[in-house]
Amino acid sequence: MAAGRPIQSSAGRGRVHLTQRRREALVAYALISPWFIAFLVFTAGAMVYSFGLSLFRADFLTPARFVGLGNYTRWVQDEMFGLSLYNTVYMLVFSIGLGMPVSLAASLLLNLRLRGIAFFRTVFYMPALVSGVATFVLWNIILNKDFGLLNWLLGLAGIAPVPWLTTTTWAKPALVLMNLWAAGGGSILYLAALQAVPQELYESASIDGAGRWSRFRHVTLPQISPTIFLTLVTGIIGGLQVFLSTMVMTDGGPYYSTTTYMLVLYRTAWRDLRWGYASAMAWLLFAIIMLLTLLVFRSSAAWVYYEGELRR
């Protein structure tokens, strides 16, 4: 039975039906209540709370004082604001800009019909699987200037050792490289999308004389564009909030070159206990994320192709 309001024909039946429907609704409310209460407290309530906090000068030393938008203006004028935002965006742009093509290429390879491809899929997915703290600890040593794996491999190619995590020039590229390794293989998403592309499309494209490249360009890419769009959006939202990797690996150094926005926020809140100021930072980052996401959404009409819509 489709969801629709049943017409109450007679009073008696209507009442029975109504209690029946009311019971259903009550059961449903009971079932979703844990989620709903948590949402009210830890999402909706938390957002209101943190916005309120951001208008106050609240640290644990002095009584809270209302400062209006003072926290915001102060933060925007702070030199760390520009620097940390630059660091964050730099790593985001390179991680996504290099990571998405690598992921896509990897998933195209994994989509070939080769013997033993299942084994390769597992291998490719391993870095993404263990991503997180183990990756940071491992790469911290891989990137070591003197005895790290990477410099050894470069040395085999005749390249002098690179001081990856200890110079301002190389620290950000080093982290980007780690992100590439961690996400480059995690292309299960693209793989699922590729396998969902109808085979007939390729066949008809071939009949029309399309070569390999043009089939990729005009069949594959449009078909998987929703997935690309999704990874782009989640990548931006996640990438702008990056800080655990830099905290564990470089602690924001050298000379603040890997201090991301979120790391500044974390220190302001949990080291300096300036909750009001940190909340203002959080809301500003939230606004930046929303703005970028909105831009991507706006642009999506031009390049994301959904099944069932006509292309002009």
Among 221, 244, 253, 296, binds other proteins (CB under 8 A): 244
Q: Residue 75 CA to chain centroid, in angstroms? A: 25
d(Cα 291, Cα 282) in Å, to the nearest integer? 14
d(Cα 60, Cα 163) in Å, to the nearest integer? 41
φ, ψ for residue 160, nearest 5 deg: -65, 150
Q: Least distance (Å) from other proteins to the CB of residue 3? A: 5
Among 16, 18, 38, 76, binds other proteins (CB under 8 A): 38
Query: Considering only 39-47, 88-96, 213-221, 252-260, which stretch makes contact with other proteins by CB under 8 A?
Result: 39-47
Restricting to residues 183-212, which ones interact with other proteins according to CB under 8 A? Answer: 184-186, 188-189, 192-193
- Tell me, residue by residue from 40 to 79, as one string, x for binding to other proteins by CB under 8 A and - for no binding: -xxx-xxx-xxx-x--------------------------
Question: How many CB atoms within 10 Å of residue 251?
Answer: 12
Among 93, 134, 291, 295, binds other proteins (CB under 8 A): 134
Q: Which residue has the tokens 């950000």?
A: 172
Q: What angle do CA 272, 273, 279 make, to 5 degrees?
A: 110
Among 69, 76, 93, 133, binds other proteins (CB under 8 A): 133
Restricting to residues 109-128, which ones interact with other proteins according to CB under 8 A? Answer: 109-110, 112, 114, 120, 122-128
Concatenate the DSSP letters of all residues of 219-256 into one string: IIHHHHHHHHHHHHHHHHHHHTT--HHHHHHTTT-STT
Residue 292 interacts with other proteins (CB under 8 A)? Answer: no
Task: Indicate the SS3 state at residue 306.
Answer: coil
Among 19, 24, 168, 251, binds other proteins (CB under 8 A): 24
Among 129, 159, 291, 295, binds other proteins (CB under 8 A): 129
Which residue lies nearer to other proteins by CB, 167 or 293? 293
Which residue lies nearer to other proteins by CB, 171 or 262? 262
Among 270, 272, 291, 303, binds other proteins (CB under 8 A): 270
Q: List Cα–Cα distances, 142 to 58, 124, 179, 254, in angstroms.
A: 42, 19, 13, 18
d(Cα 208, Cα 217) in Å, to the nearest integer? 14
Restricting to residues 141-160, which ones interact with other proteins according to CB under 8 A? Answer: 141-142, 146-147, 149, 152, 155
φ, ψ for residue 255, nearest 5 deg: 50, 45
Interface with other proteins: number of residues (CB under 8 A):
86
Q: Least distance (Å) from other proteins to the CB of residue 92? A: 13
